[in-house]
Structure 1
Amino acid sequence: MFNGGCFCGAVRYRASAQRVEATICHCTICRRTTGAPFVAWFSLPAADFTVLAGTPSALRSSTHATRTFCAACGTQLTFIDDATPGEVDVTIGSLDEPDLIAPADHTFTRGKLAWVRLADDLPQFQASRANG
């Protein structure tokens, strides 16, 4: 079980999945919506994700996905893709104990900033895992 929330504490959540998949995404939308050079995510069944306090705001960030965030402090919390109903991606950085989940790969490296050097030996995908 993983607990987390936003920076200011207005939104709190619990992720109760036994198994998660984790990645570091380099896509331009992740970069622009967080202001960071890349974002670490973990994926789990939506049924295993529960908001315990607060109500995240939602942003339709593309034609196929919605992101949620805290309206008070701006912390991005989730990514929900229409193509994978029943799944939610959660920012690893919003976990109370982010060291508990280590990313297994890098996705959308075609959008990686030129000055970012990947030296962790994790697999790299130009797009999603499914699309290479």
Structure 2
Amino acid sequence: MGMEQQAVETVETNKPVILEGGCLCGAVRYQLSAKPFDADYCHCKQCQKSSGAVFQVWMDFKHEQITWLKGEVSEFESSDNVRRGFCKQCGCTLSYRDTRYPDYFTLTIGSLDEPSLIKPNYHIYTSNQVKWLSITDDCERYQQERTS
């Protein structure tokens, strides 16, 4: 791939950068060849439990847009069609994969080296949002999953 295909524009400056990320200990590393086609905040109970946080922030890609530079993601089957990925060495939450959509792969925005470069577009499962969390952004909100 040429450098122009791997460049992603930043939120603030539209300056091209290469997005890379990985786990806390560095055993798993990846590089992205495009901007995510979507990104969201998820407030569902499984994301809360798997991340240890009150919500998780995700970005969506096609498989071919992700290059694994080091290590591999271990997966846990959290429901019939969902595989949640993590580093088997440090336990860092890295990915989400729905087996019904084999061409797509979801990564945590927090695993990016520069997570401020990707801004989520909406909130899902806000029916599970903790009561003390006040959301003041202008993103759309969905009580459950987004169906469109």
TM-score interval (norm. to shorter): over 0.9
- Partners of 2:36 and 2:78 in 1: how far apart? 27
Shift of 1:34: 0.8
Asked if 2 retains the 8 angstrom alpha-carbon contact of 1:17 and 1:45, the reply is no
* 2:84 aligned counterpart, secondary structure: strand
The count of corresponding residues between Structure 1 and Structure 2 is: 131
Alignment match of 2:104 (pick from 87, 102, 107): 87
Q: TM-score, normalised by structure 1?
A: 0.93
Unaligned runs of 5+ in 2: 1-17
For 2:69, the equivalent position in structure 1 comes to 52
CA deviation after TM superposition for structure 1 residue 33, in Å: 0.4
> Contact 1:78–1:88 (CA<8 Å) still a contact in 2?
yes
Matched-pair identity in %? 40
Larger Rg: 2
What residue in structure 2 maps to residue 27 of structure 1? 44
Give unpaired runs (5+ residues) of structure 1.
none
Highest RCO, 1 vs 2 (Cα 8 Å, sep ≥ 6): 1
Mapped to 2, the partners of 1:126 and 1:57 lie a distance apart of 30
TM-score for the superposition, normalised by structure 2? 0.83
